[in-house]
């Protein structure tokens, strides 16, 4: 009797200890991520020790087998993208050699500029991309192609600026309200495309793209109304500056040597990615959306409402893309520019595809894209290798990922044919 | 064996001498550090045949005449502006140019954060609250626009028979990029120039909203030509190259902007409403070299030979002497301050 009791006691103590250690490792990972994204490389140490502790935990409490399988699980997810990246880098080097640029010098500048020197620029570039990437990835899960994320971005940006001007509230409340109302308005921008899709079957690629153009060209009208009056302003292409109460917190306020432009929007973006991942993996809605995306007919037979889920997916995708605009306005610019030439909506498609529509993967692909852009500018400035080489490398990376879809498609076709033959 | 040792000693001695020599060279280099002048383009990039290229030409001039090092970086998107300008300052530039009105916010931010580097902005205004290491360079675009308007106004009606490119509809057009002050000044000056010699002339005007969309420029120009315009003035950066393309295809005349754009389409570009960006860039770098750089706004106009129109090139024989005389007279009157040109649409009652 007593032996049994102590046994459970020991077991529960072990449980407690495991939970405590897990918590510590998660905290380490979170703190490391915050510091690293804030431009402080000490965050990397915290990140790696957090990961080590996580693995050690598995090893200590569950044994060697489990550890190995955990490592294998993560590595196997990384292997395809890593091969793609490596192949793109090699092809880039070949192109540089053929066109008379020094690949070693150029790549040194590219990676040093993107991941070390101007890492903060990479993070700034990545922030809106994560949101638009999530928007597109989420819609993809429902079998939808939200190609108009660019438009929802502009709606979010306009809504963010408008509410920022109009709401005179204490900082935190103002920001929460701007995010809530702004993303709601951006999701409404997808209301008509969603309605048309469900009721008439009009393809969302066409409708959302048209709506993107409307939104983009609404922005000058908006700007004229909020400070960009050519008769009175020296800069009619940009609104007034937002009141400071609606600015996002900058990293500089708690990491003294962070770049003054770097804002905490990236943390919201990362949180959003984990939220989307949770919705998709652990909720009924997420399950239904995936079922609709996987096979509409099968979902219908199972009693899942296809129309309702398409509707939800489109609206949620709109809200996510809108948050990209809100974050850019509240965090980085503190005003709305007429034309950013940044194509966050279009680039969001790339990062979503590159991450195979995995929400957490979008964080990493966005950071990669951001770092390539930041490093590309640094490379062009210091080595005279033209920036376009970065676009070529990006294109090759994407191609290799799309090629993966081609393999899958081909495999499916072959299977189908074989299946058809046997009937 | 001995020979080997001697050889080794010799090699070592030679290496040491070489290294000493190279050390000396490096010291010398460090002593007379070359002036570094750099620029960041706006999203239009190099090859816009407009102000980005103009500023680049200015840096070429600086390299040639002042023996300075130059560095150019092209911005791909608006969010690149600040990192590029700050990066150029960190690379040790003595002066950094921001090209184009759209970089106003970025260059002022960069100047504030890098007080030891001089910054200059083409088409950017410097006000009281702006840092003292920032110089805004502006031009009297309305003067160039006015002169181009005089030529267009006379050619489209009075001398329309001079070339089959012109028709009898008495219509000319202006295609604008984004509606910002320098663009507005070109347009408003052009309209006044046209009306001064040809009050009945109809001047069409379209704002495309972009400086980088050639297709849109082409579309806008085609629509104008459809309405009878036989001379189209483009004030649209890269978008304007599409305008010239459309004019070439439809066999009408175009007027270029910022720099002499005759080379784009010699048989189409009648003249260009220029501003001498290269010269003003050169003057700013020279000021840095001579330690006479001051912040604030510098406005260049026809009295500095910084505004005006370019030669007619292939149209030299088409444009009659009367037009050339008129241009010369108007130029002289402008220099003498006899002509008042409005600079905003509001002042024209538009």
In this predicted model, what pLDDT tens digit does every residue of A326-337 receive, in sequence order? 999 999 988 888
Q: Are B186 and B205 within one domain?
A: yes
Q: Are B127 and B152 within one domain?
A: no
pLDDT over 70 (residue B18): no
Q: Are B185 and B256 within one domain?
A: yes
Ranges A342-351, B14-23, B63-72: which has the least confidence: B14-23
Closest Cα partner for A214 from A198, A192, A197? A192
Residue after which a domain boundary falls, among A339, A355, A371: A355
Instruction: Give the CA radius of gyration of chain B.
Output: 25
* B24 — pLDDT class (breaks 50, 70, 90): very low
Q: Are B171 and B227 within one domain?
A: yes
Q: Give the burial class of B155: count Cβ atoms within 10 A of its Cβ; 0-12 exposed, 13-18 middle, 19 or more buried.
A: buried
Apex A248 CA angle, A245 and A254, nearest 5: 110
- Residue B106 forms part of a structural domain: yes
What's the pLDDT at B254? 96
For residues B192-215, average pLDDT: 93
| Residue B105 at interface with chain A, using a CB cutoff of 8 Å | yes
Interface with B, mutate which of A230, A327, A366 (most B CBs under 10 A): A230
**Which tens digit of pLDDT belongs to each residue from B257-302?**
998 999 999 999 999 999 989 989 999 999 999 999 999 999 999 9
Domain span at residue B58 reads 36-139+278-302
**Which tens digit of pLDDT belongs to each residue from A157-203?**
999 999 999 888 888 899 999 999 999 999 999 999 999 998 998 89
Residue after which a domain boundary falls, among A62, A85, A100: A62
Contacts 24+ apart (CB under 8 A), B342-346: B342/B142, B342/B188, B342/B192, B343/B142, B343/B184, B343/B185, B343/B188, B343/B189, B344/A230, B344/A231, B344/B184, B344/B185, B344/B188, B345/A230, B345/B184, B345/B187, B345/B188, B346/A231
pLDDT over 50 (residue A8): yes
Closest CA in chain B for residue A224: B179
Nearest CB partner across the interface for B73, out of A125, A374, A377: A377
Closest CA–CA distance from residue B72 to any residue of chain A (Å): 7
* B55 — pLDDT class (breaks 50, 70, 90): very high
Pairing of β B269-275 and β B253-258 = parallel
Q: Are A180 and A41 within one domain?
A: no
For residues A374-389, average pLDDT: 88
Helix (H) or strand (E) holding A5: helix A2-37
Domain span at residue A42 reads 2-62
CA distance A372 to A88: 12
Closest Cα partner for B297 from B162, B92, B104? B104
Longest dimension (CA), chain B: 102
- Residue A391 forms part of a structural domain: no
Q: Bridge-partner residues for B272, per DSSP?
A: B256
* Token pair listed for B183: 């663009």
Place of tokens 């540089």: A96
Using a CB-CB distance cutoff of 8 angstroms, which residues of chain B are in contact with residue A222? none
Ranges A137-151, A198-212, A394-408: which has the least confidence: A394-408
Using a CB-CB distance cutoff of 8 angstroms, which residues of chain A are in contact with residue B136? none
At B253, is the secondary structure helix, strand, or coil? Answer: strand
| Residue B179 at interface with chain A, using a CB cutoff of 8 Å | yes
Pairing of β B171-176 and β B36-40 = unpaired
Q: Are B187 and B56 within one domain?
A: no
CA distance A305 to A35: 44
- Residue B19 forms part of a structural domain: no
Domain count, chain A: 2
pLDDT over 80 (residue A152): yes
- Residue A79 forms part of a structural domain: no
User: Checking phi first, is residue A384 left (phi over 0); if not, alpha (psi -120 to 50) or beta?
Assistant: left
What's the pLDDT at A231? 64
What's the pLDDT at B127? 82
- Residue B8 forms part of a structural domain: no
What's the pLDDT at A176? 93
Closest CA in chain B for residue A118: B83
Using a CB-CB distance cutoff of 8 angstroms, which residues of chain A are in contact with residue B86? none
The H-assigned helical ranges of B100-140 are 104-113
Q: Which one is predicted more confidently, A401 or B54?
A: B54
For residues A309-322, average pLDDT: 95
Closest CA in chain B for residue A216: B209
Q: Are B183 and B332 within one domain?
A: yes
Q: Are B113 and B234 within one domain?
A: no
Q: Are B40 and B84 within one domain?
A: yes
- Residue A138 forms part of a structural domain: yes
Q: Which one is predicted more confidently, A408 or B304?
A: B304
Closest CA–CA distance from residue B32 to any residue of chain A (Å): 21
Q: Are A189 and A296 within one domain?
A: yes
- Residue B9 forms part of a structural domain: no
* Token pair listed for A389: 């080489």
Q: In chain B, what percentage of residues exceed pLDDT 90?
A: 67
C-beta atoms of A343 and B77 within 8 A: yes
Residue after which a domain boundary falls, among A309, A337, A355: A355
* Token pair listed for B20: 């000493």
- Residue B15 forms part of a structural domain: no
Q: Bridge-partner residues for B298, per DSSP?
A: B137
C-beta atoms of A341 and B212 within 8 A: yes
Q: Are A20 and A125 within one domain?
A: no
* B159 — pLDDT class (breaks 50, 70, 90): very high
Q: Are B212 and B246 within one domain?
A: yes
- Residue A369 forms part of a structural domain: no
Q: Are A277 and A208 within one domain?
A: yes
Q: Are A179 and A254 within one domain?
A: yes
For every residue of A150-182, DSSP letters joined together read HHHHHHHHHHHHHHHHH----HHHHHHHHHHHH
Closest Cα partner for B105 from A244, A237, A251? A237
Domain count, chain B: 2
Using a CB-CB distance cutoff of 8 angstroms, which residues of chain A are in contact with residue B76? 341, 373, 376-377, 387
In chain A, count of helices (H) and strands (E)? 16, 0
Q: Are A118 and A54 within one domain?
A: no
- Residue B257 forms part of a structural domain: yes
- Residue B308 forms part of a structural domain: no
What CATH number is attached to the domain comprising B221?
A: 3.40.50.2300
In chain B, count of helices (H) and strands (E)? 11, 12
Q: Are A38 and A174 within one domain?
A: no
Using a CB-CB distance cutoff of 8 angstroms, which residues of chain A are in contact with residue B210? 339
Q: Are B122 and B87 within one domain?
A: yes
- Residue B28 forms part of a structural domain: no
Q: Are B212 and B254 within one domain?
A: yes
At B91, is the secondary structure helix, strand, or coil? Answer: coil
- Residue A75 forms part of a structural domain: no
Q: Are B118 and B171 within one domain?
A: no
């Amino acid at each position: 009797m007593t032996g049994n009791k102590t046994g459970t006691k020991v077991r529960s103590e072990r449980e407690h200890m495991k939970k405590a250690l897990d918590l510590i490792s998660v905290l380490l990972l979170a703190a490391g991520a915050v510091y690293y994204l804030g431009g402080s490389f000490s965050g990397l140490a915290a990140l790696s020790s957090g990961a080590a502790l996580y693995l050690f935990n598995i090893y200590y409490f569950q044994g060697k087998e489990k550890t190995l399988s955990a490592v294998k699980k993560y590595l196997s997810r990384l292997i395809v993208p890593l091969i793609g990246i490596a192949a793109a880098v090699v092809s880039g080097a070949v192109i540089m050699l053929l066109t008379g640029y020094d690949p070693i010098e150029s790549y040194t500048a590219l990676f040093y500029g993107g991941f070390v020197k101007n890492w903060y620029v990479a993070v700034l570039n990545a922030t809106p991309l994560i949101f638009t990437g999530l928007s597109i990835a989420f819609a993809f899960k429902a079998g939808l192609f939200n190609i108009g994320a660019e438009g929802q971005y502009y709606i979010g940006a306009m809504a963010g600026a408008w509410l920022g001007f109009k709401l005179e509230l204490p900082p935190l409340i103002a920001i929460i309200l701007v995010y809530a109302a702004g993303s709601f308005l951006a999701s409404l921008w997808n209301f008509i495309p969603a309605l048309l899709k469900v009721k008439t079957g009009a393809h969302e690629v066409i409708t959302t793209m048209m709506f993107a153009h409307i939104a983009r060209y609404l922005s000058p009208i908006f700007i004229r109304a909020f400070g960009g009056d050519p008769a009175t302003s020296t800069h009619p292409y940009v609104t007034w500056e937002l009141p400071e109460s609606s600015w996002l917190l900058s990293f500089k306020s708690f990491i003294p040597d962070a770049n003054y432009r770097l804002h905490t929007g990236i943390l919201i973006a990362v949180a959003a990615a984990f939220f989307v991942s949770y919705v998709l993996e652990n909720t009924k809605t997420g399950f239904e959306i995936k079922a609709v995306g996987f096979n509409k007919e099968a979902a219908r037979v199972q009693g899942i409402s296809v129309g309702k889920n398409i509707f939800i997916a489109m609206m949620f995708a709109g809200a996510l893309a809108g948050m990209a605009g809100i974050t850019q306005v509240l965090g980085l610019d503190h005003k709305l520019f007429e034309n950013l030439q940044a194509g966050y909506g279009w680039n969001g498609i790339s990062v979503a595809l590159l991450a195979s529509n995995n929400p957490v993967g979008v964080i990493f692909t966005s950071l990669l894209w951001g770092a390539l852009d930041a490093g590309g500018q640094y490379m062009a400035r210091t080595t005279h290798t033209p920036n376009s080489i970065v676009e070529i490398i990006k294109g090759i990376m994407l191609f290799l990922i799309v090629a993966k879809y081609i393999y899958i498609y081909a495999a499916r076709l072959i299977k189908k044919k074989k299946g058809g033959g046997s009937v | 064996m001995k020979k080997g040792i001697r050889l080794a000693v010799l090699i070592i001695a030679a290496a040491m001498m070489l290294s000493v020599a190279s050390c000396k060279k490096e010291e010398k280099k460090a002593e007379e550090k070359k002036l570094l002048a750099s620029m960041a383009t706006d999203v239009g990039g190099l090859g816009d045949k407009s102000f980005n290229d103009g500023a680049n030409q200015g840096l070429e001039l600086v390299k040639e005449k002042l023996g300075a090092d130059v560095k150019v970086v092209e911005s791909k998107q608006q969010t690149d502006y600040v990192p590029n300008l700050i990066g150029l300052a960190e690379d040790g530039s003595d002066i950094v140019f921001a090209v184009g009105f759209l970089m106003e916010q970025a260059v002022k931010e960069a100047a504030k954060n890098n007080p030891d580097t001089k910054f200059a902005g083409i088409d950017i205004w410097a006000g009281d609250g702006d840092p003292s290491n920032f110089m805004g360079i502006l031009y009297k675009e309305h003067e160039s626009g006015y002169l181009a308007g005089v030529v267009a106004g006379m050619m489209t009606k009075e001398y329309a028979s001079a070339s089959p490119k012109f028709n009898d509809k008495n219509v000319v057009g202006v295609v604008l990029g984004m509606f910002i002050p320098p663009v507005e000044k070109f347009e408003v000056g052009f309209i006044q120039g046209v009306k001064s010699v040809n009050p009945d002339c109809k001047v069409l005007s379209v704002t495309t909203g972009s400086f980088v969309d050639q297709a849109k420029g082409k579309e806008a120009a085609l629509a104008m030509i459809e309405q009878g315009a036989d001379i189209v003035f483009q004030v649209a950066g890269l978008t304007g190259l599409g305008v010239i393309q459309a004019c070439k295809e439809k066999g009408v005349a175009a007027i270029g902007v910022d720099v002499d754009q005759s080379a784009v389409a010699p048989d189409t570009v009648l003249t260009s409403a220029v501003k001498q960006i290269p010269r003003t860039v050169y003057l700013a770098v020279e000021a840095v070299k001579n330690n006479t750089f001051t912040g604030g706004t510098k406005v260049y106009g026809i009295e500095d030979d910084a505004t005006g129109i370019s030669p007619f090139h292939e149209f030299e024989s088409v444009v009659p002497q009367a037009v050339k005389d008129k241009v010369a007279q108007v130029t002289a009157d402008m220099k003498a301050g006899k002509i008042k040109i409005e600079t905003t649409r509001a002042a024209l009652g538009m």
